[in-house]
Amino acid sequence: MKIWRLEGLAVAALLGLGTLGMSAEGITEPDEILELADFPVLAGSYAEHGGPATQLSERMSREARVDLQSRGGERYQTDISIRGGIFEGTGLMVGGLALFDPQTGHYFSEIPLDPAFFSSARLLTGVDNGIYGFNSTAGSIDWHWAPLRSGGTAYVVGGTDSLIGGGLRTAGRLGEGLGYEVAVMHEEGDGSVEYGDFDLTRLSGRVEYQLGAGRLRIFGGYLQKYYGWPGMYTGYDLHETDDYTVSLLGWQWESGNLAGGGQHRIGGYWRLLDDDYEYLREQPNHFFEHKTEVLSLQGDGVIPVRELEILYRWAVVHDELIRSTSLVNGDFNERDYGEAAVLARKSWETPWGQWSAYGGAGIDTTDQESTVGLPQAGVELGGLGEGFSWSGYLEYSETSQVPGYTALKSPPSGLFGGNPYLGRETADTLEAGFLVSRDSISAKLVVFQRDDRDLVDWVYSSEAPNARLAAPVDLTVRGVEGWLRWEGRATAVELGYAWLDKDADYGSSTVDASFYALNYARHRLLLTLERRLAENIFLRLEGEYRKHPDNALRESGNEALYLNVAASWNNIFGEGWTLLVRGENLGKDSFQSLPGTPGRGREGSVTVSYDW
C-alpha cells in the first residue's frame, strides 16, 4: 500500500505543478561544423536567466535519457548514466573531441572548463555513438562550443550549509579574427549531510583565431576539487573523501564550409589527473593515490561524393598510469587505442516524404585487447504536413569499450576487488523513434533494446561482504523514452519519461547485489514548468519521480520524489544585474541514488550576478 500511496502522491504533485509555468528563451546555437540534431540541455533552465552553472553535469539533469547519479550534488562527483548504462559506458566530448579518463569512469564528468564556454549539446546514441563515440557502449554527450562574444559575468553565491563562492568570466577581441575567453571560480561549503564538505577551484580559458573560412581554437583548464561524503564509494558508514586535480590543454581546427560542401575538424588534447582517495578521513593514508595521463589526436568530417554524404571519424589515444599505490596488479601500465569509422548516407524524395538510408562500420582496437569491427545501419523517413513536420527512424548499431585500470589492476581482494582477466565489452542496439513538431509543441517517442556482453559491473557478494568486486555481466536492456515540450508567450512546459527493464546473467559469479548495472530507475518522470511573471521576473519549478527495482544494498526505499524551485529577477539593481534564488530537494527526500550512499539533503542558495 505504501508504494501505491507514494506513486499517487508523485503524480498528484507533478501534475499539480501544471497550474504554473514560465517562458523559455531559446538557446543560442553555435556555428555548426556538422549537421547535428541537438537536444535542449538547459531545457529553458534558470541558467539562461543569470544563474551560472557550477559544472557541465548539472546542465544535464532535466534530460530523461540521462540519469545523474551524484554523490552529494553537482559540486561533488557525479556518475552519468545514459539509457541505463553504467558510468563507464558514457562518453563525454567537447566540440567533437572525446575526453577520456583511463583510471575510472567516475572522473569522466570532471571537465575543467567553464560551462559558459558551451551552448547546447548533442546526445549520441545508436548509430551516432557508433560513429562518433569513443570507448562508450551506451552513449555519449557532445558539448558544442558557444560563439565568442565580448563581455563577461561576475557572480557571488551563498546558501545553506555554509555555501559561499563566486566567479568571474570575461571575453573579448585582441585583434581582427582573434578572440579570447577566460574564467575563474571558487566555491566551498559544509554540504547537506555531516562529513559532506567540499572545496573546488577552477581556472579555464580559450583562444580562437579565424583562418579564412576555418577556425583554430586553443583551450585549457585546471580544476582542484576536494569533497567528502559518507559511504561515497564503499556504501558503508565510512567518512570518505576524494581530493584531485584535473589539468587539460587542447586544440582544434575547423575547416568551415569548403568548396563542394565538405567540412573537416582535427584536434587533440593532453589531460592529467592526480587523485588521492581516503576511505576514512580520520585515518589518512597512502593506499589509494593515482596519477594518470592521456594524449589524444582526433578528427572527423563530411565529404560529399556524388549523391552520397560520407561521414568519417578517427581517434588515436595513449594513456599511462604514471603512478599508483593500489593499482599494482596486471601486466601493463599504459595503453594505445585506435578507432576509425565511416558512414555513407543517401537521401531521396518520394510521395511519402524524404527517405534516407545510411550504413557503415567502425573498428576499435588497442595494443592490449582484441580488435573488433562494428557495423552501423539505419533508415529514416521525414516530411511536412499542414503546419507540422515529422520524422521516424529505425537503426541498428554496435559499440565497444575496454575496462579501466581500477577494474583491471586493483588487487583481487580488498576494498575494491579487481580482475586482470576482464576483456573487451561490446553492445548491440536496436532502436526506433518518431518525432513530430508543430508551432509551439514538439514530441518524441523512442523504443530500444541494447544487449551488453561482458559489461564490467561492480557487485556485492555475501562471500566477500567487505568489498565490491569487478565482475563481467551479460545484460539485456529494454527501454521506452518520451519527451514533450510546449512553449507559449509566457509559459513553457516540458515533460520527460523513461522506462527501463533489465535481464542480467553474471555466469558463474556469486552476486547478491549490483552497485551500478542493476541500479537504475524502472520509471522516471520529469516535469519542468516555467513562467514569466513579469518582464524581468521568472519562476521555474522542477519535479522528478523515480522508482527503482529492489536492491539489497539500498537502505532507503525504492522511490523518490524531488521538488526544486528557482526564481530569477533580471536587472534588479540596474541593467545587467540578476538575483537568483534556488531551492533543491524541498521535500528532503532521503533516497539513495547510489545504493548504500546517503542522498543529498535540502539545499538553498542565493546568487547575485552582473553581466556586461
Question: How high is the pLDDT of residue 47?
Answer: 37
Q: Which fold has domain 2-611?
A: Maltoporin; Chain A (2.40.170)
536 sits in which H/E element: none
Tally of CB atoms within 10 A around 384: 10
DSSP notation for 479-529 = EEEEEEEEE-SSEEEEEEEEEEEEEEE-TT---SEESSTT---SEEEEEEE
- SS3 of 139, please? strand
CB contact burial 601-612 (16+ within 10 A = b; e otherwise): bebbbebbbbbe
Handedness of CA 100, 104, 105, 110 (dihedral sign): negative
Eight-class DSSP state of 4: H
Closest CA to 293 of 322, 329, 336, 323: 322
Rg over CA atoms, the chain: 23
Question: How high is the pLDDT of residue 58?
Answer: 75
pLDDT at 9 over 90: no
- Stretch 123-134: mean pLDDT, rounded? 96
Give the cell for residue 250: 587542447
Give the pLDDT band of residue 259 (cuts 50, 70, 90): low
Contact (CB, 8 A) for 577 and 610: yes
Closest CA to 83 of 32, 136, 45: 136
Question: How high is the pLDDT of residue 44?
Answer: 33
393 sits in which H/E element: strand 389-401
* Alpha-carbon torsion angle 402, 403, 408, 409, nearest 10: 110
CB contact burial 340-358 (16+ within 10 A = b; e otherwise): ebbbebeeeeeeebeebeb
Least-confidence region, from 236-245, 249-258, 362-371, 577-586: 249-258
Report residue 545 CA to chain centroid gap: 20
Q: What is the pTM of this model?
A: 0.90
Contact (CB, 8 A) for 426 and 397: no
- Stretch 408-420: mean pLDDT, rounded? 90
Tally of CB atoms within 10 A around 323: 12
- SS3 of 57, please? helix
pLDDT at 108 over 70: yes
Question: How high is the pLDDT of residue 466?
Answer: 75
Eight-class DSSP state of 279: S
Residue that the C-alpha cell 573546488 belongs to = 200
Contact (CB, 8 A) for 529 and 541: yes
Phi, psi of 267, deg, nearest 5: -170, 180
Give the cell for residue 491: 509559459
pLDDT top residue among 313 and 260: 313
Contact (CB, 8 A) for 315 and 337: yes
Whole-number Å distance between alpha carbons of 596 and 588: 17
Question: How high is the pLDDT of residue 52?
Answer: 62
Q: What beta strand segments (E) does 63-176 contain?
A: 66-70, 78-82, 90-94, 97-99, 118-124, 139-145, 151-159, 163-175
- Stretch 554-579: mean pLDDT, rounded? 95
Give the pLDDT band of residue 571 (cuts 50, 70, 90): very high
- Stretch 10-14: mean pLDDT, rounded? 37
- SS3 of 11, please? helix
Question: How high is the pLDDT of residue 17?
Answer: 37
Convert the pLDDT of each residue in 155-213 to its tens digit: 999 999 999 999 999 999 998 899 999 999 999 999 999 999 999 999 999 999 998 88
Whole-number Å distance between alpha carbons of 574 and 581: 18
Please enumerate, as own/partner, the contacts of 104-107 that have beta carbons within 8 Å and a separation of 24 or more. Answer: 104/404, 104/405, 104/406, 104/407, 105/79, 105/404, 106/77, 106/79, 106/233, 107/77, 107/244, 107/246, 107/273, 107/275
Phi, psi of 515, deg, nearest 5: -80, -30
- Stretch 118-145: mean pLDDT, rounded? 94
DSSP notation for 329-388 = -SS-SEEEEEEEEEEEEEEEEETTEEEEEEEEEEEEEESSS--EEEEEEEEEEEEE-SS-
- SS3 of 553, please? coil
Residue that the C-alpha cell 586482470 belongs to = 420
Contact (CB, 8 A) for 268 and 316: no
Question: How high is the pLDDT of residue 43?
Answer: 32
- Stretch 417-426: mean pLDDT, rounded? 94
pLDDT top residue among 413 and 374: 374
Question: How high is the pLDDT of residue 468?
Answer: 84
Contact (CB, 8 A) for 7 and 560: no
Strand partners, 316: 297, 338
* Alpha-carbon torsion angle 530, 535, 536, 539, nearest 10: -20
Rama region for 9: left / alpha / beta (φ>0; ψ in -120 to 50; rest)? alpha
Amino acid residing at 540 = R
Q: How far is CA 465 from CA 147, 523, 592, 599, in A?
A: 52, 30, 20, 22
Average pLDDT, rounded, for the chain: 89
Question: How high is the pLDDT of residue 57?
Answer: 74
Tally of CB atoms within 10 A around 588: 13
Percent over 90 (pLDDT), the chain: 77
Convert the pLDDT of each residue in 391-406 to its tens digit: 999 999 999 999 999 9
Question: How high is the pLDDT of residue 261?
Answer: 74
Whole-number Å distance between alpha carbons of 450 and 83: 9
pLDDT at 38 over 90: no
Handedness of CA 39, 45, 51, 57 (dihedral sign): negative
Closest CA to 327 of 301, 289, 354: 289
- Stretch 432-446: mean pLDDT, rounded? 95
